[in-house]
Chains A and B, each alone.
Chain A
Amino acid sequence: MSLGPYATFIVTSYALVTAVVAALIVWVIVDYRRQKARLHDLEASGVVRRSGRSAVDAS
């Protein structure tokens, strides 16, 4: 696949898009784990929600 004289622009564009999308995915996953960990810690230390149910649902 010959990308012509402006190959660097094409490759850079695709690389940037991949990088930013990857960063978004990583952010979402890391944030998820962090919130779950905090919820576990809080519930382990005895705090209870008004409804009495666990904050960390089966999801």
Chain B
Amino acid sequence: MLLRVEGLTKRFGGLAAVSGLDAHVESGEIVGLIGPNGAGKTTVFNLLTGAHRPTSGRVVFEDRDITGWKPHAVAALGMVRTFQITNIFSNFTVQENLALACNLKAGINYWGSTFRTRRSRAKERQVLQRCDEILETVGLQSVKTVTAGTLAHGHKNMLGIAIALAAEPRLLLLDEPLAGMNAHEVLEALDVIRGLWANGTSILLIEHNMKAAMALCERLVVISFGKKIAEGIPAEIRANKTVIEAYLGDDTYVA
């Protein structure tokens, strides 16, 4: 089992943003975390990656208890997230964005890099090659030298995913990767995400677009007010009464 969460709870003062959540992700799986607005989905991501410390409960990644680890340590272990609000290095070019994200896995020695040793230059060439591969995968090759801050919104979202990929995750956490994209961009992004999964990256994703989440994921975990209310394959979730009620009793969401 790649990721296991046991009794995960987070209280902000009197409010339980997440309470007693049990969930897991198998290696090679693509799992969706869905729920109405304010259900605590992003808080779950923050707890998994160490941005928040859980009030109680455990996070176990590859049989290692990583509860309360710092974000950079969690990322180094192989669980890398993206952000709901676009988070990129705006002043860097697209290529520099990825080059920086490759930092850890490239194994570049800081002093070697400062004094331009032959080894560090060779490593640096490998990094650029790796960046090219990733840009190819997410379809950003054409904007490689563009300053990231000036990209179109859809491209920025994809760059966010590309940055996470550059850190070579074994489990990729995507926080609403399709938010704010137009219909055409959504189709492209779905292709990219499916491609990543097909290449062996395990994925846990938060998504508001129910149609997309149903189409993408093998399994869905539904939370509402911080509690898990359902779990199962998309067909089961679609027919689940509790889930439909949670979405304000409005079944048009689950079209």
A and B bind: no
Instruction: Name B residues whose Cβ lies closer than 8 Å to a Cβ of A.
Output: none
Instruction: Name A residues whose Cβ lies closer than 8 Å to a Cβ of B.
Output: none
